[in-house]
Chains A and B, each alone.
Chain A
Amino acid sequence: MSLDIILSILEENWRSFLNGAYMTLLIAIISTIIGALIGLFIGIMHTIPVRKKSIKSVILKVFNFILTVYVEIFRGTPMIVQAMVVFYGLAAYGVQLDRFIAAIIVVGLNTGAYMAEYVRGGIVSIDKGQYEAAEAIGMGHFQTMTSVILPQVFRNILPATGNQLIMNIKDSAVLSVISVTELFFTSTSIAGANFRFAETFFITCIFYLIMTFVASRILRMIEKKMDGQNAYSVESKREEPIV
């Protein structure tokens, strides 16, 4: 491997690399967001309080069962296989999905299956006292969730979501099996044309590293921001402190 060759490959193909990286990022970001929303939805569904033996509880049970089946299927099979099944399987039934859309569906559903568990954990780990305090001032379940519980859940699942984003940046490489033009697929094409596999994929490595590094830094910053400053400002002292 020589630097000259690497530079010349870059010079010739930088546009393709950038396009591939852009696709990878786009797929990773969109599907992580979709996955987080799915996870949030399932996590919330699994923690809705219902009276036993009401109609509502039966409907909810059936619905939650279906969601559990989904989670098990997507966590229990390789994403590369899911990609094949979704893309070619649907094509067999005459549904010709756009490759990019298929990619988003596969990675999004996969992420959702993992996030569901994190969200459920994030919800049940919130102290019971938080619910009771909210109820005690007259909030309903919905208000309690939106103004007290979920904001804390968001914070709790942020690290897991970040990990998932980084996993998705890397694992979207398997989508090359359905010819999505993300970074790995693009690199394979480039290498296929110049036969410089080592150098080409060295560049690919650097691209992936930059993306994951920047993503994790940005997430760290968001976490910091959500935690607020460590110090609070004490308002200027007023006349009588304690009545």
Chain B
Amino acid sequence: MMEKVIEIKHLNKSFGSHEVLRDVNFSVNKGEVVCLIGSSGSGKSTLLRCINLLETPSGGEIIYKGENILDDQHDIKKYRTHLGMVFQQFNLFNNHNVLKNCTVGQQKVLKRSKEEAAANALKYLKTVGMDQYVNAKPRQLSGGQKQRVAIARALAMDPEVMLFDEPTSALDPEMVGEVLKVMRNLADGGHTMLIVTHEMEFAREVSDRVVFMDKGVIVEEGSPEQVLVNPKHERTKEFLKRTIKQ
């Protein structure tokens, strides 16, 4: 039996009367790479944001290592340190340079010493190929470079799971490759990853499992072969036809 890191049960989310997620059930196992695909507006981002509680779910359970983190007394800040989030828009701290972006959380939240934090940050900045830019401010970097730093910032917290919300969608085409390359390496390195992406080719190559969402529900999930090559459901087929045409 594989160890479930995150398990989601009957998750619902509405914005006002608009139901965005309906009875979503799924889990991510340790070491697994899961890609979440689906058309625009299907609720992928909302699901990811519910998982790290940037949005408050309207109902259901989120089980992290056997504990329901939606319980009132659960320490949300601590839970969040176990999840590394990478945003579409990078969201690097504009007032800090590259190194500080990767150390501020370690120091303030994990209470690591400055030296320890810097050493850890450098290790991951090397992983993403940005260790030469420790002194640069975000505004001095290209999109691809920013996103690689954002990945290093998340990794530096030594999370259990990495969450990616369309990490390459805001990038110029020529920079997509460098970010995907970093993510491939992370996947090979055994990181647990949940990735929202429109990069089908990438999803097929790296994921252990692909989850297809439509209109707030999970329609189909399985191996990349099952979902992307031989989908069972009409909606999945349609979606794939549409995306491949583009």
Q: Which residues of A contact B (CB under 8 A)?
A: 127, 129-130, 132-140, 143, 147-148, 151-152, 155, 228, 231-238, 241-243
Contacts and interface: CB of A to CB of B under 8 A. Distances in A.
Contacts of B132: 234-238
Contacts of B52: 136
Contacts of B128: 242-243
Interface in B167-193: 178, 181-182, 185
Contacts of A155: 95
B4 interface: no
Contact of B81 (A138, A232, A234): A138
Interface stretch (B27-35, B84-92, B202-210, B234-242): B84-92
B170 to A, nearest CB: 11
Contacts of A232: 97, 133, 135-137, 140
A151 B134 CA distance: 19
Contacts of B154: 137
Contacts of B182: 242-243
Secondary structure class of chain A's binding surface, majority of residues: loop
B229 interface: no
A241 B133 contact: no
B94 interface: yes
A202 to B, nearest CB: 45
Contact of B105 (A127, A138, A235, A242): A138
B131 interface: yes
Given A136-B52, A138-B109, A235-B131, A242 B91 contact: no
A235 B134 CA distance: 8
A137 B178 contact: no
A31 B237 CA distance: 68
A234 B141 CA distance: 12
Contact of A228 (B81, B93, B137, B185): B137
A233 B87 CA distance: 27
Interface residues of B, number: 44
B95 A152 contact: yes
23 contacts: A134-B93, A135-B54, A136-B52, A136-B85, A137-B85, A137-B154, A138-B77, A139-B105, A139-B108, A139-B109, A147-B93, A148-B96, A151-B95, A232-B133, A232-B135, A232-B136, A234-B133, A235-B133, A238-B126, A242-B128, A242-B129, A242-B181, A243-B129
A233 B135 contact: yes
A132 B93 contact: no
Contacts of B9: none
A133 B89 CA distance: 10
B80 interface: yes
A130 B54 CA distance: 12
A82 B232 CA distance: 77
Nearest to A128: B91
Contacts of A238: 126, 131-132
Contacts of A231: 140
B93 A130 contact: yes
A228 B80 CA distance: 32
B80 A129 contact: no
A5 B44 CA distance: 80
Contact of B91 (A132, A147, A234, A241): A132
A133 B95 CA distance: 13
A147 B140 contact: no
B62 interface: no
Interface in B93-111: 93-97, 104-105, 108-110
B97 to A, nearest CB: 8
Contact of A137 (B126, B129, B133, B153): B153
B80 A136 contact: yes
A147 B137 contact: no
Contacts of B126: 238, 243
Given A138-B157, A228-B137, A133 B93 contact: yes
Nearest to A238: B131
